[in-house]
Amino acid sequence: MTGSNDKTPGGPGRRLPRARAMEEFRAAPTFVLVEPQMGENIGATARAMLNFGVKSLRLVNPRDGWPNEKAGAMAAGASAVLDDVQVFDSLDAALHDSRYVIATTARRRELMLPVLELREAAATAQARIAAGDPCAVVFGGERNGLSSDDVARADAILSVPVNPAFASLNLAQAACLVAYEWSAAARAGAETEEVDEEALDRRPAERAHVASLVDHLIDALDRANYFRPPEKRPLMTRNLRVALSRAGFTSPEVQSLHGALKALERSGNAS
């Protein structure tokens, strides 16, 4: 069980329809906004999420802090989302309990990641969630979108098929489209859903474990003076992070890799 599944949503004595709605919410992806700027956009995002039954919203370093009055004004009553917003100081922290991560970005071909069109991404997220893996969809801030280092944390890139002559999609509109397609995929999936016990054994590790493995590897490589020339270090670390983040390692595999790394470090120190 993951951290997000351990939470008890809602209070005592709640009515059944709300309880059932909450069940749906728990099975929806988490939306993560990285350095969002305008409270109005956070509020409009919350509203669009709730329109399609997506409730979990996390913010990484919102420019104007949190809570934000303007977000409340634009959310038009979507307090079921806004009241439970979680704020983090790094994307890694915001993704800690996710097991599948999709990054929304217009820069498609920059990293060695699979590119999923919106509908395909929603179906993939739905299948992962049905298999028991918490999913996160990551959105960049209004000005610059996601950095390459942010995208490097993802399993896949989500691309919205926009008009190439006018491709800049508003943050809340992008969130609305993802929520809408996720909800369509969830309705389609509900008709055929089965728990695949074998797939549970193959489920990817929580993101916190993958991130710590990457950090471990980079530390070890730093000590081994691997990143040369030094100006290439950012690109080299990013490429490593991409490869390991999207690898879909299970928790036992991550543990094994940690052990392997330690063994290599010891042997290197000994030599």
The binding site for its own copies (CB under 8 A) comprises 17-18, 21, 44, 47-48, 50-53, 76-78, 80, 119, 160-163, 165-170, 172-173, 176-177, 180, 183-184, 187
Closest distance to its own copies from the beta carbon of 37 (Å) = 14
Whose Cβ is closer to its own copies: residue 27's or residue 160's?
Answer: 160
Whose Cβ is closer to its own copies: residue 144's or residue 256's?
Answer: 144
d(CA 135, CA 138): 10
**DSSP single-letter state for residue 111:** S
Whose Cβ is closer to its own copies: residue 50's or residue 59's?
Answer: 50
Closest distance to its own copies from the beta carbon of 240 (Å) = 35
Closest distance to its own copies from the beta carbon of 162 (Å) = 5
Neighbouring CB atoms inside 10 A of 60's CB total: 22
Closest distance to its own copies from the beta carbon of 56 (Å) = 14
Whose Cβ is closer to its own copies: residue 174's or residue 242's?
Answer: 174
Q: What is the strand order of the sheet 135-139 is part of?
A: 86-88, 57-60, 30-34, 135-139, 100-104, 156-159, 115-117
Say if residue 23 is exposed, middle or buried (CB neighbours under 10 Å; 0-12, 13-18, 19+). exposed
